Amino acid sequence: MNFRRARAMARKEMLHIVRDPQSLMAALTQPLLVLLLFGYALSLDVDRIPTMIYDANRTVESRNLVLAFRGSRYFQVIDEVDSYRPIEKAMDQRRILVGVAIPADYSRDLLQGKESPVQILLDGADSNTASIAMGYAQGVVQTYAKQAHDNAQSLRTGSVMQPAVDAQVRVWYNPDLISRNFIVPGLIGVITMIIAALLTSLTIAREWENGTMEQLLSTPVRPIEMALGKLSAHFLLGLTDMLIALFVGVVIFKVPLRGSVVLLLFSACVFLYGALAWGLYISASFRNQLSAYQMGTFTSFLPAFLLSGFIYPIANMPWIIQMFSFIIPARYFIDITKGIFLKGLGLRLLWFDLLLLIVYAVGVSFLAVRKLRQKIA
């Protein structure tokens, strides 16, 4: 291998990138736009749930329960009605997600220490959101019922009731429970996989379409030198995209970066190189840009978005999908980014994920050079 020829190949590819300002601008702005769009638009937070309340009891106790719902940040009480019909109509029109019906004997049962049920009506069209909203509603009702029951018991006995167990909840790593802190680190990995694969998936195919591959074949450049040169040029562009994504995540979205920046950048470089090599392998497998672009999108965006644990927990997937996810490199890089960003983990706990990324980068590079050698031969 001659590094002088590889450097000349990298310079040729860099000149080609610079002389296409539209593609260059798209490559630099696309990760920024995707990160801003997903960061602001995609949210897993379930709060300010539109709610209607039907209070058939009309007592101090039921009114305090209504105030508990109004005071919760998870619910937005848009109206209090006097029958079930407005709740049903509003739910059919998708104006509310939750309806709360307080029965007429609620205060009597509550003050007597009996079971005092409250009816929670949910729009189950979005089952995940409905399940979360049901948990929030049950928490509000049960917390208020316990407090009211303890107050009534204290008035009857003349002494303050002390709880047998004082349970305190402590949230680690993401104490504010902001979904953006969970989404943005994973989104950086997804964007890197998509952009990197698309950057190099067109390089070799473009050479065939433009008729310049024959000229390259007439030179003494070897396949490994051609691959290294093309990867080096696009690596600089991909690294710039990565740094832009990190800047947006930390500065604009204010995602806490608790771990080592050096480890994060090193892992990102390994993952970026592997993704670029995969794009080069795809490009060497096709002789037209359309097929290479379609295959690059299919093999980078869908697995990285759906099967990496970015949004959907892998543990909840069918076992056959879980087995398939082990070959998705974005899975390991997203584990690294989330561990470094949110938990401050170091190499002692992340070494295995990093090792798998290194194996992936080396293996895909070997396949890309081999495929390129076959095409040239």
Query: In this structure, what DSSP letter does residue 51 have?
Result: E
Q: Please name which of 185, 186, 193 lies closest in space to residue 364, comparing C-alpha atoms.
A: 193
The CATH number of whichever domain residue 93 belongs to comes to 3.40.1710.10
| Residues 271 and 352 grouped into a single domain | yes
Structural domain includes residue 284: yes
The residue that leads in pLDDT, 128 or 60, is 60
| Residues 191 and 300 grouped into a single domain | yes
Structural domain includes residue 107: yes
The last residue of a domain, from among 157, 186, 207: 157
| Residues 283 and 368 grouped into a single domain | yes
**Whether 77 contacts 52, CB under 8 Å:** yes
Question: Which of 21-35, 305-319, 342-356 is modeled with the greatest confidence?
Answer: 342-356
pLDDT tens sequence across 89-118: 999 888 999 999 999 888 888 877 778 889
pLDDT at residue 192, rounded to an integer: 84
pLDDT tens sequence across 136-175: 999 898 888 888 777 766 666 655 556 666 677 787 887 7
Structural domain includes residue 168: no
Look at 138-142, 197-201, 302-306, 320-324 and tell me which has the smallest mean pLDDT. 197-201
Q: Share the mean pLDDT of the chain.
A: 83
**Whether 201 contacts 279, CB under 8 Å:** yes
Alpha helix ranges (H) inside the chain: 3-18, 21-41, 60-71, 84-92, 106-111, 127-157, 179-200, 203-210, 213-217, 223-247, 261-285, 289-306, 319-325, 329-338, 347-376
| Residues 316 and 241 grouped into a single domain | yes
The last residue of a domain, from among 88, 122, 157: 157
| Residues 248 and 262 grouped into a single domain | yes
The residue that leads in pLDDT, 123 or 20, is 123
| Residues 111 and 208 grouped into a single domain | no
Structural domain includes residue 163: no
| Residues 225 and 351 grouped into a single domain | yes
pLDDT tens sequence across 330-348: 999 999 999 999 888 999 9
pLDDT at residue 312, rounded to an integer: 79
| Residues 36 and 128 grouped into a single domain | no
Structural domain includes residue 104: yes
| Residues 75 and 105 grouped into a single domain | yes
**Whether 7 contacts 229, CB under 8 Å:** yes
Q: Is the pLDDT of residue 84 over 60?
A: yes
The residue that leads in pLDDT, 61 or 113, is 61
| Residues 106 and 145 grouped into a single domain | yes
Structural domain includes residue 167: no
pLDDT at residue 336, rounded to an integer: 93
Query: In this structure, what DSSP letter does residue 255 have?
Result: -
How many structural domains compose the chain? 2
Structural domain includes residue 88: yes
Q: How far apart are CA 17 and CA 6, in angstroms?
A: 17
pLDDT tens sequence across 173-208: 877 777 788 888 888 888 888 787 777 777 777 777
pTM of the model: 0.77
Q: Which domain holds residue 25?
A: 3-43+178-376
Which two three-digit tokens encode residue 13? 């590819």
Structural domain includes residue 172: no
| Residues 25 and 125 grouped into a single domain | no
pLDDT tens sequence across 240-280: 888 888 888 888 888 888 889 999 999 999 999 998 888 88
| Residues 64 and 142 grouped into a single domain | yes
**Whether 313 contacts 182, CB under 8 Å:** no
pLDDT at residue 333, rounded to an integer: 93
